[in-house]
Amino acid sequence: MGLVLKAVCAYVLYVISRAIYNAFFHPLARFPGPKAWSASRIPYLFTLVTGQNSFRIKALHDEYGPVVRVAPNELHINDPRAWNDIYMRKDSEIRPPQWGMRPPGIESYNVISGVGSDHGRFRKALGMAFSEEAVKEYEPTVRSYFNKFTARIDELIAKNKGSAVVDMVKWSNFTTFDIIGELAWSKSYDCLDTGAGHAIMGVLSHFQGVIIAAAITYYPWINNALMAITPRSAFEDLKMIFNDGHERLQNRIKHGPSGHPDVLGHLAEYNKQNPTAKITDDEIEQNVFSCLVAGSECLTTAFSGAFHYLLVYPSKLKRAQEEVRAAFSSEASINATDAAKLEYLNAVIEESLRLCPPLPDMLRRQLPSEAPTTIAGRVIPPNTVVSVSCYSMFRSASHFSSPDTFAPERFLKSADESEKWSPDSPLNHNDMAAFKPWGVGPRECPAQPLARLEMRLFLAVLLYRYDLKVAEGSYLTKWTSQQVFETWQKDPLNVEFSPAVSSSVMAAGVAEGSYLTKWTSQQVFETWQKDPLNVEFSPAVSSSVMAAGVAAP
């Protein structure tokens, strides 16, 4: 027993001495940040596994400045120069080992996990599949699924005699998942047809498990112990995903080219043009899986964010609808080329990506071990892990005026110059060098052209065809009250659709940009501790009283 006690005491002494060294004598000790985070990685990992890391990192930047030490060997940098200094470097491939893992039993890499020549092959192949020219070929297929979406909405409207309430998070996810399935494998997942998600959707979007697994690997002895006792049955969901992908790929190979252009067709063409650098079938499967996640989950976030803020800001919704309805003579005439010319619609998309970046935190990079590196004008010691937080960067008052305000006008080239002189105007200062929602450098999203096409078409079609408001009795969850596990864990967004009757949009009773707190979320100390209730009043124009359109906690 004495030996065990000595061992425990020795370990405790080691932990304490290590924490003191990390906090006060480590090469990163000169960088600002909370001492508890500098001494141990545990506070940082705790915010990760609880879904609060993005918000906590922003709070730390607000308190400590553009460079914050968030772990013994890790810095977060909130400086626009860091984009190029970190992600455009020739040696920017180096990742911390905890964040470069592959699923158990998978030997092949994909465009996300691959490095060096492997990443180069994948990037070149996917560049062909998602080029502007290729994406233009995909437009009829994409549009057919948007038409299927509106057909389902119309069925619900007819059934409910005038309007339908739809969870836009769920149904936009059905739509994007069907689209990427059709474009990738030439075989949809039939979510819109069945009105239910495919079995693999839940597995692919379970990012909390990925975060927890990565956090555990920082402590190898815990990770090894857990892996030793984890039954093989725990990986059945992953096996199901890979088997499904394998079957879809083999079916596509067996039956040849589909009736429309698809990703696999372009990958096959890449292999023909590059016989010495072909992508194997296993690599194709893994790369398509990465496309499934990016093409469904990330786009669902973009759509949900756009509709969320348009509903919170009715005047912005009205302006976007008026622009779309004036630009097209009919719904059938809506196309991606002309939608790309709609200045305000595209500004709505950009502002939605700013406030709701699909990946709030960018990938971590480990600096080379040979010598110090200069990042954003600061000399960083070797082997330091560095990263940029999109959420912190895009919502920083140092880079954007009124950073938490939804103001598409900040992206308009023709914005009224006089507004820029108002200290509180969102147009006063906007450093677009800070805004990189797609990433930069060799890791920039290769499917950006397809994502933009889908966003423009989807928003244009829905804004043209329907009048929208928050469903009666529903509450909009404040966007930043949601957890983040790599991407946003989105609450339901219940939107009431009704056929468009004019180019006007009814203003909500709740003050624009305000959220109505759910009554039962308030505290009770003998009586209710009431939150502010911001109501927008306007002179009555008739004897009828309009129902409020927006309600949110």
b/e map 198-237, b = 16+ CB within 10 Å: bebbeebbebbeebebbbbbbeeeebeeeeeeeeeeeeee
Q: Residue 88 in 3-state DSSP? A: coil
Annotated binding site: 445
| Choice between 215 and 328, residue whose per-residue pLDDT is larger | 328
3-state DSSP helix/strand/coil % of the chain, to nearest 5: 55, 10, 40
**Spatial distance between the Cα atoms of 530 and 532, rounded to a whole number of angstroms:** 7
**Spatial distance between the Cα atoms of 297 and 345, rounded to a whole number of angstroms:** 22
The CA dihedral of 99, 103, 105, 111, to the nearest 10 degrees, is: -80
Q: What is the pLDDT of residue 14?
A: 87
pLDDT at 422 over 70: no
pLDDT at 553 over 50: no
**By C-alpha distance, which of 67, 103, 94 is closest to 82?**
67
* Domain assignment of residue 549, yes or no: no
pLDDT at 490 over 90: yes
pLDDT per residue as tens digits for the range 138-168:
999 999 999 999 999 999 999 998 999 999 9
Contact 73, 383 (CB under 8 A): yes
Tally of structural domains, the chain: 1
* Domain assignment of residue 276, yes or no: yes
pLDDT per residue as tens digits for the range 108-149:
888 888 888 888 999 999 999 999 999 999 999 999 999 999
| Choice between 429 and 385, residue whose per-residue pLDDT is larger | 385
* Domain assignment of residue 327, yes or no: yes
* Domain assignment of residue 342, yes or no: yes
Annotated binding site for heme: 445
Contact 408, 350 (CB under 8 A): yes
CATH number of the domain residue 194 falls in? 1.10.630.10
Residue keyed to tokens 């190029």: 84
Most confident of 11-15, 83-87, 226-230: 83-87
**By C-alpha distance, which of 289, 332, 323, 336 is closest to 452?**
336
Residue keyed to tokens 């180096």: 94
Q: Lowest-pLDDT range, 289-298, 414-423, 424-433, 453-462?
A: 414-423
**Spatial distance between the Cα atoms of 144 and 183, rounded to a whole number of angstroms:** 12
pLDDT at 343 over 90: yes
* Domain assignment of residue 275, yes or no: yes
* Domain assignment of residue 374, yes or no: no
**Spatial distance between the Cα atoms of 96 and 99, rounded to a whole number of angstroms:** 6
Rounded to two decimals, what is the model's pTM?
0.88
HSE (CB half, 13 Å, CA atoms) of 541? 4
Cα-based angle 539, 545, 549 (whole degrees, multiple of 5): 95
**By C-alpha distance, which of 325, 319, 327, 312 is closest to 347?**
319
* Domain assignment of residue 80, yes or no: no
Residue 34's identity, in one-letter code, is P
Residue keyed to tokens 């004897």: 543
| Boundaries of domain holding 142 | 111-357+440-465
* Domain assignment of residue 170, yes or no: yes
Residue keyed to tokens 């400086």: 79
Q: What is the pLDDT of residue 541?
A: 43
Residue 273's identity, in one-letter code, is Q
**Spatial distance between the Cα atoms of 77 and 377, rounded to a whole number of angstroms:** 11
**By C-alpha distance, which of 357, 380, 393, 403 is closest to 79?**
393
Q: What is the pLDDT of residue 547?
A: 38
**Spatial distance between the Cα atoms of 399 and 405, rounded to a whole number of angstroms:** 13
Residue 185's identity, in one-letter code, is W
Contact 54, 391 (CB under 8 A): yes
Q: What is the pLDDT of residue 1?
A: 60
**By C-alpha distance, which of 203, 280, 207 is closest to 244?**
203
Contact 412, 100 (CB under 8 A): no
For residue 472, what are the contacts with CB-CB under 8 A and spacing of at least 6? 496, 547
**Spatial distance between the Cα atoms of 204 and 290, rounded to a whole number of angstroms:** 9
**What are the residue ranges of helices labelled H in 313-411?**
314-327, 336-339, 343-355, 390-394
pLDDT per residue as tens digits for the range 256-282:
777 899 999 999 999 999 999 999 999
pLDDT at 313 over 50: yes
